[in-house]
Amino acid sequence: MSGHHELLAGWGNTAPSMAEVVRPRTEAEVALALSSGPIIARGLGRSYGDPAQCAGGTVLLNRGLWHLSPIDLASGTITVGAGVSLDEILRVSVAAGYFVAVTPGTRQVTVGGAIAADIHGKNHHLDGSFMNHVVSFRLATPLGEVTVTKESDPGLFWATGGAMGLTGVVLEATLALMPIESSWVSVDTERFENLDGVMDAMATGDADYRYSVAWVDCMTEGPRMGRAVLTRGDHAPRSALEGRSARHPLEPPAAPLLSVPLTPPSGLLNRLSISAFNEAWFRKAPKKADGELHSLSSFFHPLDGVDRWNRMHGPRGFLQYQFVVDDAHGEVVRTAIERLSSNKVPSFLAVLKRFGPGNPGPLSFPLEGWTLALDIPVGPPQLPAVLDQLDEIVSEAGGRLYLAKDSRLSPEMFATMYPRAADLMDVARRVDPEGRLSSDLSRRIGLTD
Residues that bind ligand FAD (CB under 6 A): 11, 40-47, 51-52, 62, 82, 104-106, 109-110, 112-114, 116-117, 119-121, 164-165, 169-170, 303, 404, 439
Taking the C-alpha atoms of residue 91 and residue 190, their distance in angstroms, rounded to an integer, is 30
* CA of residue 102 relative to chain centroid, distance: 10
Residue 63: helix, strand or coil by DSSP? Answer: helix
Per-residue DSSP letters for 388-399?
A: HHHHHHHHHTT-
Residue 62 or 347 with smaller CB distance to ligand FAD: 62
Taking the C-alpha atoms of residue 401 and residue 391, their distance in angstroms, rounded to an integer, is 8
Taking the C-alpha atoms of residue 21 and residue 87, their distance in angstroms, rounded to an integer, is 24
Residue 97 or 432 with smaller CB distance to ligand FAD: 432
Minimum distance from residue 234 beta carbon to ligand FAD (Å)? 18
Residue 115 or 225 with smaller CB distance to ligand FAD: 115
Residue 323: helix, strand or coil by DSSP? Answer: strand
Q: Quickly count: other Cβ atoms within 10 Å of residue 435's Cβ.
A: 16
Minimum distance from residue 95 beta carbon to ligand FAD (Å)? 23
Taking the C-alpha atoms of residue 375 and residue 140, their distance in angstroms, rounded to an integer, is 34
Minimum distance from residue 44 beta carbon to ligand FAD (Å)? 4
b/e string for 33-43 if b means 16 or more Cβ within 10 A?
bbeebbbbbbb
Residue 40 or 337 with smaller CB distance to ligand FAD: 40
Minimum distance from residue 322 beta carbon to ligand FAD (Å)? 8
Residue 11 or 184 with smaller CB distance to ligand FAD: 11
Closest-CA residue to 117 (of 162, 168, 160): 162
| Cβ partners under 8 Å of residue 421, min gap 6 | 362, 363, 414, 415, 447
Residue 60 or 332 with smaller CB distance to ligand FAD: 60
Strands 134-141 and 288-295 come out as unpaired
Element (H, E) at 149: strand 144-149
* 13: alpha, beta or left? (left if phi > 0; alpha if psi -120 to 50): left
Residue 177 or 404 with smaller CB distance to ligand FAD: 404
- 245 burial level (CB within 10 Å; 0-12, 13-18, 19+): exposed
Check if the beta carbon of residue 187 is closer than 8 Å to that of residue 299: yes
Minimum distance from residue 243 beta carbon to ligand FAD (Å)? 33
| Cβ partners under 8 Å of residue 289, min gap 6 | 187, 188, 189
Minimum distance from residue 446 beta carbon to ligand FAD (Å)? 16
The packing angle between helices 331-342 and 195-205, to 10°, is 150
Minimum distance from residue 57 beta carbon to ligand FAD (Å)? 12
Minimum distance from residue 334 beta carbon to ligand FAD (Å)? 22
Minimum distance from residue 82 beta carbon to ligand FAD (Å)? 4
Residue 30 or 340 with smaller CB distance to ligand FAD: 30
Minimum distance from residue 240 beta carbon to ligand FAD (Å)? 25
Minimum distance from residue 287 beta carbon to ligand FAD (Å)? 26
Check if the beta carbon of residue 325 is closer than 8 Å to that of residue 398: yes
Taking the C-alpha atoms of residue 271 and residue 279, their distance in angstroms, rounded to an integer, is 12
Residues in the chain, overall count: 449
Residue 285 or 306 with smaller CB distance to ligand FAD: 306
Strands 211-216 and 228-235 come out as antiparallel
Residue 159 or 413 with smaller CB distance to ligand FAD: 159
Residue 67 or 244 with smaller CB distance to ligand FAD: 67
